[in-house]
Structure 1
Amino acid sequence: MTTPTDPPVPPDRPRPGRKLGPIAGNVGSTHRAWLVPMRDTYLASGLTLNALSDRIRFAKSKLSELLRGVGLYPRWEVVFLIAAELGMPNWPLYRLWRQAAFEAHRSGEWVERCTQRTTILTATDTAPPMDHRAFRELTEGHYLLYAQVFLDDEEPDAAVSDTYDTLWLSWNDARTSTDTRRYAWNVLRDTVLARTPHHDGRPELGTAAFDTLALRSLTDPTDDMDQIPELVMLFTAISHLPRRQFDVMVLRHLCGFTPEAVSALVGASLATVRSDERHATHFVRDVLDSPPSTEGTFP
């Protein structure tokens, strides 16, 4: 009987210390946009809260609160130190942190005070990875069309910009995912719908939807008023669709994409897109053909 020269490799051991709690439910969408990638990077780093606390000289309890979005909105100096320790790009992180600070009702003076010690590093407009830039060039126009269905004025541009900043922070995860297009689409979708007004838990397509192909195709102004109730019912029915079917209907019938373009944009097979559209169309037709007594009763 021989004895192996190398000892067996021990199984992976759980991270020592208390497990990091979930993100607080009241964390805003832009705050979450930078906090989720930071948490994911921390969890993938193998560091414990104790080790990270020692490295950046910040109390472990406060660090735990920051990574859960609990308590006061964090100062940039601390976020910057954590990002530097974890190897995260500071430029997209700073833009998202700044916007979330204003959404948390922090003043411009407070934001400027927070960045005084890191002004030079924070102000450095570093370039994202080359493949990230190429991906943005290919998708940005299409992403804007989707965002414009839900948001008005400058909000679509801001939502799409935040999407690419979020992707930059988690680009390694996007590249190693099953499909980068699908990963990115989910980030865009979550970013846009987080800013979209909701009614009974459903996104409102709202006034932006009335500027779609369906309404622009009307040539007689007197027909507009007759069509509006039908359009409202149509948009309401679409808002009750499952996630994938909802996106396919918005992209196909409110943005005007071909099935092939939808497939390439969202990272789904052409057969899946056509199947989703077929099922969604049946549902919408059933709703629109329902008698008045059943209007508004959706599954």
Structure 2
Amino acid sequence: MTPSPIPEQSAGEPPQRRGRPPEPICESAGTAHRTWLEPVRSRFVASGLTLDDLVGRSGYSKTRLSELLRGKGYYPGWEITYSVVRALDIPVGPLLRLWKAAAVEAEKTPTWIHNRIRQVQPASREEPPIAHVGLTQAMWQPYSAYAMAFLQSEQRARQAVAETFDILWLTWDEATASPDTPRHAWMLLRTKVLSRTPRRPAGHYDLRAAAFSTTAQAEAPDLVERLARIDVFARFFDAIASLPADQMDVTVLRYLCGIHPDAIPGIVGLTPAMTHTLDHHARWALHELFPDADTQE
């Protein structure tokens, strides 16, 4: 069944909703589940459709659709999820990837996932917006470097970055409506990376594992010296993680990821002047804690 187009509203006109908005997402819904469910719910609310309208477009009962929109009960199969995605005119490709990741989180077997997908006639190939493609090509490497600094795992870093760009595709209208799309994208990437990063008892993120991948400690002449250097770097990186968020980002990108200072403003979506100020304050704070460290220009 091909869904009829979502009725357009006049510029500045709020959606005409005859029903009530969906109830909050259940607390039992997992993190990966919420990752795709929240954009779907946002699209549903923005569409102006009621749950009865969605019943007519999807072919599923109101009870089942209400449970899907709340993340209630068993993890939903791809069949019903796909019906809602198509009814709301949401890009299928990125949503399917996020759905599969959440199915793994929900401990669904590969066979269950494969069979659920097989039951659905695949949609025609979709292409993301050209601007989204350009952003992905420009930011994939620095985003991945940032993710690696915290997660110390190529697989986990790749997953965080891929999830970021899939969500951006799903919410591209929102991203481009923001005052600064690169800033919007960076904040999303930061959230996805740090949500996977453990915290220290003091509350800041644990960056100490990055000490094991530094060149300086690998070049130590013996094990004792290597362990000593690891200890120093671990304490230094722990101090970096305790900086305010934007100072931490700039410091990680420049000194842990080796990204040129001129490239950092475009990555984090801030002006060169603001980025320079953040870098200056971060280096000063670190110098106060580690006077012998090379943090001054």
Structure 2 length as normaliser, TM-score? 0.82
AA aligned opposite 2:155: E
One of 244, 247, 253 as aligned partner of 2:246: 244
CA distance in structure 2 between the partners assigned to 1:12 and 1:83 by the alignment: 22
Corresponding position of 1:174: 175
The Cα shift of 1:120 comes to: 3.0
Is 1:212–1:255's contact at 8 Å kept on the other side of the alignment? no
CA distance in structure 2 between the partners assigned to 1:39 and 1:284 by the alignment: 43
Is 1:29–1:191's contact at 8 Å kept on the other side of the alignment? no
Is 1:150–1:209's contact at 8 Å kept on the other side of the alignment? no
Corresponding position of 1:80: 82
Corresponding position of 2:139: 139
CA distance in structure 2 between the partners assigned to 1:78 and 1:208 by the alignment: 42
Alpha carbon RMSD of aligned pairs, Å? Answer: 2.5
AA aligned opposite 1:129: P
SS in structure 2 of the partner of residue 202 of structure 1:
coil
User: Please, which runs of 5 or more residues in structure 1 have no aligned partner?
Assistant: 1-10, 290-299
**Percent identity at matched positions?**
38
Counterparts of 1:175-190 in structure 2 under 5 Å? 175-190=176-191
Corresponding position of 1:256: 258
CA distance in structure 2 between the partners assigned to 1:212 and 1:255 by the alignment: 11
Structure 1 length as normaliser, TM-score? 0.82
Is 1:203–1:239's contact at 8 Å kept on the other side of the alignment? yes
Is 1:76–1:115's contact at 8 Å kept on the other side of the alignment? yes
Q: Say which is worse superposed, 29-38 or 166-175, in terms of deviation.
A: 29-38
CA distance in structure 1 between the partners assigned to 2:214 and 2:230 by the alignment: 12
Counterparts of 1:268-279 in structure 2 under 5 Å? 268-279=270-281
* Mapped pair 1:127 → 2:127: yes
Corresponding position of 1:52: 54
Is 2:15–2:46's contact at 8 Å kept on the other side of the alignment? no
Q: Say which is worse superposed, 244-253 or 276-285, in terms of deviation.
A: 276-285
Q: Deviations over 1:44-63 (max 9, x none)?
A: 11112232233223333432
User: Please, which runs of 5 or more residues in structure 2 have no aligned partner?
Assistant: 1-12, 292-297
* Mapped pair 1:97 → 2:112: no
Is 2:15–2:47's contact at 8 Å kept on the other side of the alignment? no
Q: 1:29 to 1:259 in 2, by over 3 A?
A: farther
Q: Number of matched residues?
A: 276
One of 223, 229, 232 as aligned partner of 2:231: 229
SS in structure 2 of the partner of residue 100 of structure 1:
helix
One of 37, 40, 43 as aligned partner of 1:41: 43
The Cα shift of 1:287 comes to: 4.2
Corresponding position of 2:197: 196
The Cα shift of 1:32 comes to: 2.5
Corresponding position of 2:6: none
* Mapped pair 1:158 → 2:159: yes
Is 1:197–1:203's contact at 8 Å kept on the other side of the alignment? yes
Q: Deviations over 1:152-173 (max 9, x none)?
A: 1422222222221111111121
SS in structure 1 of the partner of residue 120 of structure 2:
helix
Corresponding position of 2:120: 118
The Cα shift of 1:219 comes to: 5.6
CA distance in structure 1 between the partners assigned to 2:28 and 2:286 by the alignment: 34
Is 1:29–1:194's contact at 8 Å kept on the other side of the alignment? no
Is 1:145–1:255's contact at 8 Å kept on the other side of the alignment? yes
CA distance in structure 1 between the partners assigned to 2:133 and 2:162 by the alignment: 12
Q: Deviations over 1:262-285 (max 9, x none)?
A: 111011011211222233333334
AA aligned opposite 1:192: V
One of 266, 269, 279 as aligned partner of 1:267: 269
Is 2:32–2:102's contact at 8 Å kept on the other side of the alignment? yes
CA distance in structure 2 between the partners assigned to 1:134 and 1:12 by the alignment: 31
